[in-house]
């Protein structure tokens, strides 16, 4: 892994913005979680700070709770308490948990249940029951 911490912005694909955001590196099938700080961030990667005693694997999930985002991250360089990562895409499992996706799933489930209740009420009516259950 090369250290690109001294390379200028001209070598980056997108501009990174200075930040101080709490994040977590998750790896080993979710069994390992390492707290870190995002020091600069772009749509394609980030510079992290974390304990120099902690090792990171070549790839992991970077969770950013304050932004409700998770990314597949590839470690590009590591030097003492700093690390550079590239994002290889958003973590698809995180998308399922996004509030808007949960709401859409609940709406679909609700429509299915309403249809099923209507079918059952019709069957009960066919058997001589005229009251709809509450």
Give the pLDDT means over successive 10-residue stretches in the chain (134 positions): 43 74 94 96 93 94 91 96 90 57 72 86 85 58
User: Domain extents for the chain?
Assistant: 9-91, 98-126
H or E element in which residue 126 lies: helix 99-126
- CA dihedral (12, 14, 47, 22) in degrees, to 10, reads 180
pTM over 0.75: no
Left, alpha or beta for 132 (phi > 0: left; psi -120 to 50: alpha)?
A: beta
According to the model, what pLDDT value does residue 6 have? 43
* CA pair distance 58, 85, nearest whole angstrom: 9
* CA pair distance 16, 94, nearest whole angstrom: 23
9-91 is classed in which CATH architecture? Beta Barrel (2.40)
């Amino acid at each position: 892994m090369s250290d690109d911490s001294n390379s200028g912005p001209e070598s980056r694909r997108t501009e990174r913005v200075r930040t101080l955001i709490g994040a977590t590196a998750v790896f080993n099938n979710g069994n390992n979680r390492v707290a870190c700080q995002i020091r600069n961030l772009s749509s394609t990667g980030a510079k992290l700070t974390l304990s120099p005693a902690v090792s990171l694997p070549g790839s992991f999930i970077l969770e950013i709770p304050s932004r409700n985002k998770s990314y597949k991250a590839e470690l590009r360089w590591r030097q003492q308490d700093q690390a550079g990562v590239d994002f290889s895409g958003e973590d698809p499992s995180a998308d399922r948990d996004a509030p808007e996706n949960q709401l859409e799933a609940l709406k679909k489930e609700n429509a299915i249940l309403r249809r099923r209740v209507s079918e059952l009420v019709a069957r009960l009516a066919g058997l001589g029951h005229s009251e709809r259950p509450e």
